[in-house]
Amino acid sequence: MMNLKDKKIIIFDLDGTLTESKQDLDPEMAELLVKLMASHIVAVIGGGSYGQFTRQFLAHLPHKPDFLKNLFIFPTSGTISYAFKDGAWKEIYSYPLDLAQRRRIFYVLSSVEKALSIHEEKTYGDKIEDRLTQITYSALGQEAPLDVKKGWDPDEAKRKRIVDFITPLLPGLSIRIGGMTSIDITKKGIDKAYGIKEIERELKTPIVDMVFIGDAFFEGGNDYPAISTGIDCIAVKNVTETKEKIREITA
């Protein structure tokens, strides 16, 4: 049986794991993470942009270099990475989509709703967001309220239908179900599995000494690529369960 206390690096998904979808990190979770970073290295790999990470996650942690040095973040599904060095967040690597790829993705995504007869009477903000290293399609718009998103596709059936439609039209790219209403598209092979392997290389720590905690390990989910690395994975249903796992490690 896995002993969480023996793990040296704890890796988390963001939305649905550390926070509700696009919601701010709550004070209790921030306190738990600070305690965890006092004894472990922590990495967070999520689908949001660096700006979203900053607003949703980093802004709610105390700005103290003594523990931030133990935190690594991987926005846009692991296609870009940052570490806290010399008092600021510094980019470690980045894999942007090229212009031709981005144009093709926009063209395909713009045809989804007509092809699949999808019609949402009310949407909230832009549906297609170019995050440079990742393009994200959100069926209800990027700014949809949490309660509206929760009821839109609870069994992932709508998003799986979209993924099945666009996958053959976008060869050479990775396409995954993201948050509650979204699809994430990145360069092939640059995903959460890639981020985990970069952690192994950068910190010279074998994967056996890591654990990944997330809420979307189902096939096609944005945490699913992590399984291919052989890392120990823990599936949680919500933020409350994640808090319980952190308490288990820090007890």
Q: How far is CA 132 from CA 30, 135, 188, in A?
A: 29, 7, 14
What structural domains and CATH numbers belong to the chain? 4-95+190-250 (3.40.50.1000), 99-187 (3.30.1240.20)
Per-residue pLDDT reduced to its tens digit, 213-230? 999 999 888 899 999 999
Contact present, 90 and 107 (Cβ < 8 Å):
no
Predicted pLDDT at 179? 86
Residue 166 has pLDDT above 80, yes or no: yes
Establish how many alpha carbons lie within 13 A of residue 206's alpha carbon, considering only the half-sphere containing its beta carbon: 3
Question: Full-prediction pTM beyond 0.75?
Answer: yes
Mean of pLDDT values over 138-155? 94
> How sure is the predictor about 136, in pLDDT bands with cuts at 50, 70 and 90?
very high
**Of the candidates 222, 251, 245, 240, the residue with the CA atom closest to the CA atom of residue 13:** 222
The predicted-structure confidence for 78-116, as pLDDT tens digits, reads as follows 999 999 999 999 999 999 999 999 999 999 999 999 999
Q: What is the pLDDT of residue 63?
A: 83
Q: Has residue 32 got a pLDDT over 80?
A: yes
